[in-house]
Amino acid sequence: MDYDQIKKAAQGYQADMTRFLRAMISHPSESCAEKDVVACIRSEMEQLGYDQVEVDGLGNVIGWMGDGDKIIAIDSHIDTVGVGNRSNWTDDPYEGWEDDAVIYGRGGSDQEGGMASAVYGAKIMKELGLIPAGYKIMVVGSVQEEDCDGMCWQYIVNKFFPAKGIRKEQVEFVISTEPTDGGIYRGHRGRMEIRVDVKGVSCHGSAPERGDNAIYKMADILQDVRALNENPADDGAAIKGLVKMLDPKYNPEHYEDARFLGRGTCTTSQIFYTSPSRCAVADSCSISIDRRMTAGETWDSCLQEIRDLPSVKKYGEDVTVSMYMYDRPSWTGEVYETECYFPTWINMERAAHVQALADAHHALWGETRIGHADADPKRDAMHLREGRPLTDKWTFSTNGVAIQGRYGIPCVGFGPGAESQAHAPNEITWKQDLVTCAALYAAVPGLYREENKTADVTQFRAGKTNNDIK
């Protein structure tokens, strides 16, 4: 393989990737409103000579290169979060302005920059004859990830693939193009969305003793949830903190994996109440909990932890702990109902697909993370990358929760941009990253050694729930 030729080709497409990314940014594409950016991506793929481009029923845009039976997929979610308080942005978040080093705008790092590199990475593969015999490349622009991680791939596996006569076992592995700060990422914590509902009894606010204030009950529960997140795991602690999963005493089989991924967390993210008026006692109160799960934690253990909190037990049948469901229609109108549970997953570092990315990086760019260096810390990428191992993990969650976490399809990450830019105002990505990633994607298929794959590439993969959810 001529690595210099690959790098030259990727560098030659930098201006095109920049133009394409700016075009995507110009189309606001929050979850369930991706129609215009899908059309933009489809047009780009068709102009670049993809063998086939299609949009599935959910609205994912999928481009194909090659004609083999085995599939290597490259996934980029193309939905974004909103811009939040517009006054926090120095410029128009949808203009996608550029300078010599960076591209500005919502979606630059999270995660349309990955789409730009993936589309051109596959173009380079075809141009240079880098698609191995028997393989084809599947480039996915997936929707609704910000709303419901991995649901797009649930649809692909359970709806799109069967309609095309494709078995999920034909997918050798998937590269996620989520931002990785110049690293190769082999897993991340899972998450779930938990709801706690508390009943009360209303009465006139002038005589609160006649009622049963649901907000007061919830206040007790909130303190226990906070303790669960913040307490140590000392034997004397009434509520042992989630840090306990890093201790072999409490997590003997998976504490090492948990230390790699990081401890689980729980964050109270929303609160709701009902009351007849502002001069009445609240008759219900509810909270949402964003629960991040490390290795060794499961959907039922996380629910049970909340049910076992002293205040939850104190209020007994007045408290209900449950998991959220997701049923929001996509931009096509399609509804794929699923649970808000996103399993934890970790690959073995020696797994064949992880090693293929490491080998590609070593051949193209060396053994350390690279990126744009700048005297301006707001434009500098290297302060986020220097000294960090090349192979690592994400802090946040990705479509990998379905790809590998739910279905066991091997997944690995390498993508332009920085995690710290995700959901932040004045979001940027770096032009150099677009080139770096496109070149690596192009080189990976030729370095993948199918003969080195094992039956199980996973160090830890959280199990599914007992719900009838595919």
Amino acid at 211: G
Which one of the listed residues 110, 145, 181, 419 is annotated catalytic? 145
Question: Facing residues of 391 across strands?
Answer: 184
Provide the CA 247 distance to its chain's centre, in angstroms.
Answer: 27
Q: Is 456 helix (H, G, I), strand (E, B) or coil?
A: coil
Structural Rg of the chain based on CA atoms: 23
Instruction: Answer for the pair 21, 430: CB distance below 8 angstroms, yes or no.
Output: no
Q: At what angle do helices 14-25 and 3-12 cross, to 10 degrees?
A: 50
Please list the alpha-helical segments (H only) found in 70-132.
113-128
Which one of the listed residues 34, 79, 257, 433 is annotated catalytic? 79
Structure token digits, residue 243: 């840090």
Establish whether 79 is a catalytic residue.
yes
Establish whether 145 is a catalytic residue.
yes
CA distance 424 to 82: 10
CA distance 32 to 14: 30
> How many residues appear in the chain?
470
Provide the CA 460 distance to its chain's centre, in angstroms.
Answer: 17
| Helix, strand, coil % in the chain, rounded to nearest 5 | 35, 20, 40
- Helix/strand/coil (H, E, C) string of 300-322? HHHHHHHHCCHHHHHHHHHEEEE
Catalytic residue positions? 79, 145
